[in-house]
């Protein structure tokens, strides 16, 4: 990830200048109008919302009857959804780190038959809102604020009633962080970031609960001889994951926080590095031979592996560039390492030795995922593509899958290997059928920055976190099983 001064890090999710998206107001659980602020939500997290669904939420039945899945009141606006999408596609500019010609890229992309419905919309709630920390920066010689020309476009858009999301221009003055801030541990349990809190959402009970508050001082409960644990405070979460009853979060100043969900307090937390740009870009949990391990990738070009029992650092590997993402193959033999380079590396997870280099992407890489059979690796890049690689022949990619607007920030496979989802920074999630050789797909079209995507472990649900001041929410999609007779039951 690009190197920017850490002291310029600011939390700007709810600071979209002084304009309201879509000229609409948010809706509180108890009334038809008014906005829901964070304090209101915090006080209501223990309440059971099953008794009365808030007007701001959208159910599958309402969506079938014509309500927008995000609750956007298009009928009250001066433009249609189609017009808004057309203009947004035209104005959105994808951030680029490497200036390379991409004129031939589209020719290499696989033709995908879109329009399929593998996962159908189930529910959208604004009672929990995914939020993203952005990275603002400036230098003494160059101002990275919104250019005057862009401001003029924005003013004209407002006057015309088209108050476009500032994420269209946000890449002019902020760096889009990675989007792994949501994790599903079952069909009904989701963990996500909301401001300085890690929240648990039960889609069954429609109830949210704070699991961890990182704005307060965090003192680790487990301390062993030689352990590097230390007290942290006001951590800005950059990435997270939840597996095997363990939640691990990374921070913008190189922090890592480990909490067992069935135990009070935080088991372990520390700063992995003191470098001013030691952002923890990705964290993962894996279980080789029955021993749970935590792996962290940082902006200081280091990958560190911890034992999740005593949180001792077992090994750390250095690479030539900032590491944005790592993923371990299902058999534990290969570690994919991606970062601020057009090349992706395959390394030995025991020694860190690089055994292969994947070449084909044109820009920095942000995401990777292994098919459950361990033969296919998918990598997501700032060049707006996802490449598929066969581990048996890494000389070139098997296929290139194209996004609509921006970089591929997150990639997930279902546990049964049937589907693969990839998310852009905003607006689009693409779901591919692997059994069709990725030739058929579903495009989930929404509005807002995407904080993360996650399939449930049983592959039955897909969750999407949307970050937006007004329409920030958690969307749930259920796998379509073509059991039409169930519609008359539920």
User: How confident is the model over 105-146, as pLDDT tens digits?
Assistant: 888 999 999 999 999 999 999 999 888 865 543 333 332 233
Does residue 177 lie in a domain region? no
Residue 196 CA to residue 402 CA, distance in Å, equals: 34
Residue 259 CA to residue 240 CA, distance in Å, equals: 11
Does residue 331 lie in a domain region? yes
Does residue 70 lie in a domain region? no
pLDDT in tens, 309-367: 889 999 999 999 999 999 999 999 999 999 999 999 999 999 999 999 999 999 999 99
Judge whether 304 and 290 are in contact, CB under 8 Å: no
Q: In what order do the strands lie in the sheet with 323-328?
A: 323-328, 335-339, 344-347, 354-358
Q: What is the dihedral of CA 325, 331, 334, 337, to 10 degrees?
A: 0
Which SS3 state, helix, strand or coil, does residue 346 take? strand
The predicted pLDDT at position 224 comes to 74
Does residue 422 lie in a domain region? yes
Does residue 243 lie in a domain region? no
Which of the 8 DSSP states describes residue 110? P
The predicted pLDDT at position 359 comes to 96
The predicted pLDDT at position 62 comes to 96
Nearest of 490, 456, 461 to residue 478 by alpha carbon: 461
Q: State percent of the chain over pLDDT 90.
A: 67
Tally the domains of the chain. 1
User: Domain residues for 205?
Assistant: 182-213+319-457+464-479
Residue 265 CA to residue 212 CA, distance in Å, equals: 8
The predicted pLDDT at position 352 comes to 95
Residue 97 CA to residue 84 CA, distance in Å, equals: 28
* 197 Cβ neighbours under 8 A, 6+ residues apart: 210, 211, 212, 213, 214, 215
Does residue 165 lie in a domain region? no
Residue 42 CA to residue 25 CA, distance in Å, equals: 20
Residue 197 CA to residue 305 CA, distance in Å, equals: 25
The predicted pLDDT at position 229 comes to 87
The predicted pLDDT at position 145 comes to 32
Please list the ranges in the chain whose pLDDT falls under 70: 1-53, 133-177, 226, 483-490
Judge whether 144 and 135 are in contact, CB under 8 Å: no
The predicted pLDDT at position 36 comes to 35
Judge whether 379 and 391 are in contact, CB under 8 Å: no
pTM above 0.95, yes or no: no
Q: In this structure, what CATH number is given to the domain that contains residue 434?
A: 2.130.10.10
């Amino acid at each position: 990830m690009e190197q920017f001064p850490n002291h310029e890090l600011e939390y700007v999710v709810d600071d979209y200048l002084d304009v309201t998206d879509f000229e609409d107001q948010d809706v509180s659980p108890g009334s038809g109008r008014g906005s829901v602020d964070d304090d209101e939500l915090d006080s209501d997290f223990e309440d059971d919302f099953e008794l009365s669904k808030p007007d701001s939420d959208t159910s599958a039945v309402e969506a079938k009857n014509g309500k927008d899945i995000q609750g956007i009141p298009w009928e009250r606006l001066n433009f249609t959804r189609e017009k808004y999408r057309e203009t947004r596609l035209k104005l959105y500019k994808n951030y680029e780190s490497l200036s390379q010609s991409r004129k031939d890229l589209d020719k290499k992309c696989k033709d995908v038959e879109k329009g399929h419905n593998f996962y159908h919309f189930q529910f959208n709630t604004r009672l929990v809102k995914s939020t993203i920390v952005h990275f603002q920066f400036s230098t003494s010689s160059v101002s990275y604020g919104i250019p005057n020309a862009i401001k003029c476009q924005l003013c004209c858009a407002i006057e015309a009633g088209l108050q476009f999301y500032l994420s269209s221009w946000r890449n002019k003055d902020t760096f889009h962080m990675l989007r792994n801030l949501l994790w599903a541990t079952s069909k009904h349990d989701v963990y996500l970031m909301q401001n300085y809190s890690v929240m648990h959402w039960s889609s069954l009970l429609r109830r949210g609960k704070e699991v961890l508050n990182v704005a307060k001082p965090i003192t680790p409960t487990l301390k062993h001889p030689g352990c590097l644990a230390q007290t942290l405070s006001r951590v800005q979460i950059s990435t997270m994951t939840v597996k095997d009853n363990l939640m691990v979060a990374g921070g913008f100043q190189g922090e890592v926080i480990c909490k067992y969900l069935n135990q009070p307090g935080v088991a372990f937390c520390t700063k992995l590095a003191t470098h001013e740009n030691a952002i923890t870009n990705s964290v993962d949990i894996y279980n080789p031979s029955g021993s749970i391990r935590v792996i962290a990738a940082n902006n200081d070009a280091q990958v560190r592996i911890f034992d999740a029992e005593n949180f001792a650092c077992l090994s750390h590997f250095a690479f030539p560039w900032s590491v944005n993402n790592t993923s371990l193959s299902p058999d534990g033999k290969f570690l994919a390492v991606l970062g601020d380079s057009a090349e992706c590396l395959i390394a030995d997870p025991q020694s860190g030795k690089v055994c292969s280099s994947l070449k084909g992407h044109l820009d920095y890489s942000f995401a990777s995922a292994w098919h459950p059979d361990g033969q296919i690796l998918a990598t997501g890049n700032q060049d707006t593509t996802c490449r598929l690689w066969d581990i048996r022949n890494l000389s070139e990619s098997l296929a290139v899958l194209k996004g609509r607007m921006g970089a591929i920030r997150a990639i997930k496979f279902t546990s049964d290997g049937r589907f693969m989802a990839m998310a852009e920074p905003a607006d689009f999630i693409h779901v591919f059928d692997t059994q069709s050789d990725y030739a058929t797909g579903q495009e989930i079209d929404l509005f807002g920055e995407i904080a993360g995507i996650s399939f449930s472990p049983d592959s039955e649900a897909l969750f999407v976190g949307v970050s937006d001041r007004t329409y920030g929410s958690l969307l749930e999609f259920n796998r379509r099983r073509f059991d039409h007779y169930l519609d008359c039951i539920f």
